[in-house]
């Protein structure tokens, strides 16, 4: 039997051990393997330290290979041993505790060291980095004794550390040297949205601050900045970047630049010595994310196993911030230059931002905020470098899980991917491994795939792709998705929360958060408005609306515009107005020097550019009902002229529309609701892209639901055909109440019906008794609503409150 060659790995971390795992699969009998690790732990997932700190995982869960794995694979493991010398002549390594090991091949995988700013006072107690289990434990211990923490560095690591410390109950200030956060991953627009969201979660920021020293005696008590200002903190976490750990390599005479210089096969300048992971520099780049390091590991394993490989050619990287309640994704080159073109969508109301950057017809970069579900797919286009010419807008508008996994026609990119292509970068899980788990190991949910392969277990960025693969390979046997909380503050779903509120008669958002064990006692900007809505929906008469839990526009009862002014939109029922109302609007517009008066798509007039302080006065003079153009409520009922004037009209669409708008105005709904009524199937009012669309036909009305004319256009589904106007009122009331009672907060009717299915909605409404009960509950909810502006204008106290509110910081969404 041929004698095995000796392979030594220095560094028991993510990249090195990953290479060993591959090698064991490719050639289990070729090497006697010895691993030295300076940390006293088995190989663990460093990425997940952020989750441990934020309460999303415990230390046991982050172990990648436990002690048994080393035994089972006959690996000699020395933990707590730091290699201090490599003797390249004798081909041996020696540890700080005197253990020597001989090698035929040696892998250096020593990772990085956190960059510690050389500040006066940096050696004080309480000044740490965030790199390993020890740092994580220090933070957890500190949070039990101290209240205030300062994190230096507003990058990925700093923000994840800060979120964890907030979770541990500390007050956290993040000090960042640049004008905006995550400047290495985001453009300014996305960064500002991120900052607002993190502020809503309780994080505080000190931007454009350069730290001069750390104050305190033995222990740190805060920072002093170069401008003379200070901030207090008993724990100082430095997260200002990393530097490859090259000391040992340099000592050994291996060529070192920023990292240990390697070629495409991870070979260093010294024969039989390889480097992999963050300590390695390939074609001038030392990577700081696991996906490229895993790719390097795979190449190195093939090379060591004698399996043919084209070598490592470098990686395009993507990142996803792992902070619950905040979705941020960045990939490739996202900064615009004269040679690139950028397409962007920014929705301040919905809190989403999407930017794609193109060059020569190819996608080269992307930034997503608020909704990162398209991240993985966009990233695969960036990596493939294929032409997307002519499809740029499609990429901007997005994909659904169905599209990702759609197998008909065999066009799906996922289907076209090779089996060894990596789906989950964080855990290095390939498409083939996931397909195998689905087809051969009985995995039929994202949760079971996670348990079986680890895919989607870290940053979660690959989840849409895993869902797409489930669609391809599991078909009809897809299981119930693993339950996820409505936001990072809880693991409870919307339905569970509503059930518990009802069962325990919880009456305020605070009570819900306390009783149902919210991780974050203050909630976040996702759950607070949602709870406020659910409580109002369940107890229309008893619940007192919490203004501070509402989104900004709803607090001001007006839409904030990009220049900080507001818009005023009086209600114009069914789009039908009168000379008197028009004159009134014109006079007010002139008197208050309103810069712009515009017809909206919903057939009404919008006075734009109004100063916040003029809002009550304008509404007082207008003396018209609010059009609620800002809220999650009924917006407009668009109508055509119908049989009153039009020769094709079969019914009175204007009358029907006005009746509907008068009945449902001021109704609180999970998301905005738009209606339309057309007088004949020519459908001039575009009723078939509305949440509830009414189309007149000979002798009756068609009732349509769940349409949408926004970013993702969706034509309505036909609900039923009725004969009379009374029936239109009955069905529309029942439908709206059913939607109010069953949809998730912020879910438009289109998304809701797609999620629960048209049949389920039809079933919920088919029984007349149920419809009448729903209509009753709707009327009860409507009976307690009042016109917000009429109330503010007529009540001294509310008017004063509004003025105070105007000076206060709104809830940012």
Ligand X SMILES: NC(=O)c1ccc[n+]([C@@H]2O[C@H](COP(=O)([O-])OP(=O)(O)OC[C@H]3O[C@@H](n4cnc5c(N)ncnc54)[C@H](O)[C@@H]3O)[C@@H](O)[C@H]2O)c1
Ligand Y SMILES: Cc1cc2nc3c(=O)[nH]c(=O)nc-3n(C[C@H](O)[C@H](O)[C@H](O)COP(=O)(O)OP(=O)(O)OC[C@H]3O[C@@H](n4cnc5c(N)ncnc54)[C@H](O)[C@@H]3O)c2cc1C
Which CB, 49 or 765, lies closer to ligand Y?
49
The pair of three-digit structure tokens given for residue 248, joined into one six-digit string: 């040992």
Residue 680 marked ligand-binding: yes
Please report whether residue 700 would count as binding ligand SF4 according to CB under 6 A. Answer: no
CB count within 10 Å of CB 662 equals 13
Name the strand (E) or helix (H) holding 78.
strand 76-79
**What is the CB neighbour count within 10 angstroms for residue 706?**
24
| Binding pattern for the stretch 440-459 against ligand FES, x by CB under 6 A and - elsewhere | ---------------xxxxx
Whether residue 268 contacts residue 254, with contact meaning beta carbons closer than 8 Å, is answered with: yes
Q: Which of 133, 316, 333, 641 binds ligand SF4 (CB under 6 A)?
A: 641
What's the sign of the alpha-carbon dihedral 655, 657, 658, 660? Answer: positive
- What is the spatial distance between Cα 757 and Cα 755, in angstroms, rounded to a whole number? 6
Which three-class secondary structure state does DSSP give residue 697?
Answer: strand
Determine which residue in the list 8, 23, 24, 49 makes contact with ligand Y, applying CB under 6 A.
49
Helical axes 431-440 vs 446-453, angle rounded to 10°: 110
Of the residues 175, 249, 424, 761, which one makes contact with ligand FES according to CB under 6 A: 424
3-class SS at 778? Answer: helix
Choice from 646, 718, 760, 805 touching ligand SF4 (CB under 6 A) = 646
- What sign does the dihedral 753-756-762-766 (CA atoms) show? negative
| Strand 596-599 versus strand 566-568 pairing type | unpaired
SS3 content of the chain, % helix, strand, coil (to 5): 35, 20, 40
Task: Give CA angle at 182 (179, 183), nearest 5°.
Answer: 55
Q: Binding residue for ligand Y (CB under 6 A) from 54, 101, 109, 194?
A: 109
Three-class SS state of 432: helix
Tell me how crowded residue 466 is: count the other CB atoms within 10 A of its CB: 28
Select 20 or 792, whichever has its Cβ closest to ligand Y.
Answer: 20
Nearest distance, CB of residue 107 and ligand Y, angstroms: 10
User: Sheet containing 5-10: which strands, arranged edge to edge?
Assistant: 76-79, 31-37, 5-10, 105-108, 273-275
Q: Which of 110, 520, 639, 643 binds ligand Y (CB under 6 A)?
A: 110
Return the one option of ligand SF4, ligand FES, ligand Y, none that residue 50 interacts with (CB less than 5 to 8 A, by type): ligand Y
Sole binder of ligand SF4 in the list 428, 631, 679, 788 (CB under 6 A):
679
Binding letters toward ligand X, positions 205-234, x by CB under 6 A: ------x-----------------------
15 or 513, CB closer to ligand Y?
A: 15
Using the minimum distance from each CB to ligand SF4, give the nearer residue, 154 or 642: 642
The correct pick among 256, 323, 594, 680 for binding ligand SF4 (CB under 6 A) is 680
- Asked if residue 163 binds ligand X (CB under 6 A), the reply is no
Single out the residue of 665, 639, 638, 636 nearest to residue 651, CA to CA: 639
Angle (CA) 474-480-485 rounded to 5° is 130
Q: Is 575 in the site for ligand SF4 (CB under 6 A)?
A: no
527 labelled as ligand-binding? no
Instruction: Confirm whether residue 646 is marked as ligand binding.
Output: yes
Segment contacting ligand FES by CB under 6 A, of 338-346, 422-430, 685-693, 739-747 = 422-430
What b-and-e string marks burial along 282-310, b requiring 16 or more CB atoms within 10 Å of the CB?
Answer: beeebbbbbbbbbbbbbbbbbbbbeeeee
Q: Does 292 bind ligand FES (CB under 6 A)?
A: no
| Binding partner of 461, given ligand Y, ligand SF4, ligand FES, none, CB within 5-8 angstroms per partner class | ligand FES
d(CA 65, CA 578): 75
Q: How far apart are CA 754 and CA 738, in angstroms?
A: 15
319 binds ligand X (CB under 6 A): yes
Which residues neighbour 579 within 8 Å (Cβ) at sequence distance 6 or greater?
Answer: none
Residue range at the interface with ligand X (CB under 6 A); choices 25-33, 176-184, 434-442, 659-667 = 176-184
CB 734 within 8 A of CB 774: yes
Residue 378 binds ligand FES, judged by CB under 6 A: no
Binding partner at 82 among ligand Y, ligand SF4, ligand X, none, C-beta below 5 to 8 Å by kind: ligand Y
Q: Which residues bind ligand X (CB under 6 A)?
A: 117, 152-158, 160, 175-178, 183-184, 211, 239-242, 288-289, 319-322, 459
Where along the sequence are the contacts to ligand SF4 (CB under 6 A)?
640-642, 646, 648-649, 653, 678-680, 682-684
Binding footprint of ligand Y on the chain (CB under 6 A): 10-16, 36-39, 46-47, 49-50, 82-83, 109-111, 130-131, 157, 245, 248, 277-278, 288-291, 293, 322, 426, 458-459
**Binding residue ranges for [4Fe-4S] cluster:** 640, 646, 680, 684
What does the binding site for ligand FES look like in residue numbers (CB under 6 A)? 424-427, 455-462
Known binding-site residue numbers for siroheme: 684
């Amino acid at each position: 039997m041929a004698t095995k060659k000796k392979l030594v790995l220095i560094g028991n971390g993510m990249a090195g051990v990953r290479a060993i795992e591959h090698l064991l699969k490719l050639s289990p009998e070729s090497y006697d393997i010895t691993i030295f690790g300076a940390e006293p732990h088995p190989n663990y997932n460093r990425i997940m330290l952020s989750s441990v700190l934020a309460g999303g995982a415990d230390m046991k869960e982050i172990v990648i290979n436990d002690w048994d794995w080393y035994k089972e694979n006959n690996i000699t493991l020395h933990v707590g041993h730091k290699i201090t010398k490599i003797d390249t002549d004798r081909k041996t390594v020696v540890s700080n505790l005197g253990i020597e090991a001989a090698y035929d091949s040696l892998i250096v995988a020593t990772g990085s060291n956190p960059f510690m700013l050389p500040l006066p006072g940096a050696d004080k107690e309480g000044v740490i980095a965030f790199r390993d289990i020890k740092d994580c434990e220090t933070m957890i211990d500190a949070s039990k004794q101290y209240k205030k923490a300062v994190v230096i560095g507003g990058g990925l690591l700093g923000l994840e550390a800060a979120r964890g410390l907030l979770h541990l109950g500390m007050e956290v200030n993040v000090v960042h040297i640049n004008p905006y956060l995550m400047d290495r991953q985001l453009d300014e627009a996305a960064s500002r949205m991120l900052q607002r969201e993190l502020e809503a979660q309780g994080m505080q920021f000190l931007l454009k601050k350069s730290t001069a020293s750390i104050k305190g005696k033995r222990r740190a008590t805060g920072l002093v900045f170069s401008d003379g200002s200070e901030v207090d903190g008993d724990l100082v976490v430095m997260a200002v970047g990393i530097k490859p750990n090259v000391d040992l390599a340099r000592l050994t005479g291996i060529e070192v630049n920023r990292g240990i210089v390697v070629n495409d096969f991870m070979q260093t300048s010294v024969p039989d010595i390889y480097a992999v992971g963050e300590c390695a520099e390939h074609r001038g780049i030392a990577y700081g994310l696991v996906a490229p390091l895993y790719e390097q590991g795979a190449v190195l394993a093939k090379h060591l196993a004698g399996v043919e490989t084209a070598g490592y050619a470098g990686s395009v990287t993507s990142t996803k911030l792992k902070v619950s309640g905040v979705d941020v994704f960045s990939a490739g080159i996202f900064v615009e230059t004269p040679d690139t073109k950028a397409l962007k969508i920014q929705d301040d109301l919905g809190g989403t931002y999407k930017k794609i950057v193109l060059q020569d017809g190819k996608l080269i970069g992307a930034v997503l905020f608020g909704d990162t579900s398209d991240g993985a797919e966009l990233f695969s286009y960036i990596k493939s470098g294929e032409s997307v010419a002519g499809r740029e807008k499609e990429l901007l508008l997005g994909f659904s899980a169905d599209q990702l996994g759609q197998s008909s026609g065999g066009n799906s990119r996922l289907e076209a991917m090779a089996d060894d292509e990596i789906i989950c970068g964080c855990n290095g899980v390939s498409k083939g491994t996931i397909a195998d788990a689905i087809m051969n190991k009985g995995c039929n949910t994202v949760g079971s795939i996670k348990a079986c392969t680890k895919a989607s277990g870290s940053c979660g960025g690959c989840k849409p792709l895993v869902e797409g693969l489930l669609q391809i390979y599991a078909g009809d046997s897809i299981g119930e998705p693993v339950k996820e909380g409505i936001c990072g503050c809880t693991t409870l779903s919307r339905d569970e929360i509503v059930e518990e509120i009802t069962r325990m008669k919880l009456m305020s958002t605070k009570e819900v958060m306390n009783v149902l064990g919210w991780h974050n006692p203050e909630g976040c900007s996702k759950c607070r408005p949602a709870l406020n809505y659910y409580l109002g929906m369940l107890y229309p008469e008893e619940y007192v609306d919490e203004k501070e839990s509402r989104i900004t526009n709803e607090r001001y009862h007006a839409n904030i515009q990009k220049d900080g002014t507001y818009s005023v939109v009086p209600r114009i029922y069914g789009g039908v107005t009168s000379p008197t109302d028009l004159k009134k609007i014109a006079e007010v517009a002139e008197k208050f020097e309103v810069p712009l008066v515009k017809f909206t798509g919903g057939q009404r007039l919008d006075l734009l550019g109004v100063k916040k302080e003029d809002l009550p006065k304008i509404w007082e003079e207008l003396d018209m009902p609010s059009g609620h153009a800002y809220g999650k409520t009924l917006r407009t009922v668009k109508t055509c002229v119908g049989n009153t004037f039009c020769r094709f009209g079969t019914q009175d669409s204007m009358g029907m529309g006005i009746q509907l708008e008068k009945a449902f105005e001021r109704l609180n709904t999970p998301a905005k609701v738009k209606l339309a009524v057309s007088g004949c199937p020519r459908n001039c009012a575009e009723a078939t892209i509305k949440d509830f669309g009414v189309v007149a036909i000979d002798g009756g009305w068609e009732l349509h639901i769940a349409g949408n004319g926004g970013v993702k256009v969706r034509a309505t589904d036909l609900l039923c055909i009725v004969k009379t106007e009374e029936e239109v009122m009955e069905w529309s009331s029942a439908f709206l109440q059913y939607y109010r009672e069953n949809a998730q907060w912020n879910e438009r009717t289109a998304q809701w019906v797609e999620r629960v299915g048209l049949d389920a909605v039809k079933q919920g409404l088919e029984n007349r008794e149920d419809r009448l009960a729903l209509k009753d509950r709707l009327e009860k909810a409507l009976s307690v609503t009042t016109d917000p502006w009429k109330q503010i204008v007529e009540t001294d106290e509310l008017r004063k409150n509004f003025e105070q509110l105007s000076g206060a910081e709104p809830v940012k969404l």
